[in-house]
Amino acid sequence: MFEPRKWKYNDVVTIMHLREINAKAIQMSQHKSGSRQYLSTYKRAFAKVEGKFSERQRQRYRAMAKYWTEKRLPPMVQQRYVHRNDSSRF
């Protein structure tokens, strides 16, 4: 039986700020995306980006995660999710 994914706050932040987190991780690691050094700094880069959010923005992203889990994903996120998980084969 198919069970839909449960979206979390961190998932929403990652999707909404992907480019900014990526740029910060590259800057902090001084290595290209996907390298071991990049991956080791990704969590810290995420924390730096997320640390700049207001409480209102955090609440908005929590609400989005709940909505995405209970209702449906926005079309942009649906396309990215299907493409990355190779779900189009079915």
82 lies in a domain? yes
Helix (H), strand (E) at residue 3:
none
Q: Is the pLDDT of residue 2 over 60?
A: no
Q: What is the mean pLDDT of the chain?
A: 86
2 lies in a domain? no
- Domain span including residue 54: 9-89
CA 60, 66, 69, 71: dihedral to nearest 10 degrees? -80
Q: Quick one: which of 1, 4, 15, 2 has its CA closest to 64?
A: 15
* Distances from the Cα of 18 to the Cα of 4, 14, 15, 88, 90, angstroms: 22, 5, 5, 23, 28
**Residue 11: both structure tokens together:** 């998932």
* Distances from the Cα of 12 to the Cα of 18, 25, 46, 58, 88, angstroms: 10, 18, 12, 10, 22
4 lies in a domain? no
Report pLDDT digits (tens) over 21-40: 999 999 999 999 989 999 99
79 lies in a domain? yes
At residue 62, the pLDDT reads: 97
77 lies in a domain? yes
67 lies in a domain? yes
> Into how many domains does the chain fold?
1
Average pLDDT of 4-18?
91
Q: Is the pLDDT of residue 76 over 80?
A: no
Global confidence as pTM: 0.77
At residue 37, the pLDDT reads: 94
18 lies in a domain? yes
34 lies in a domain? yes
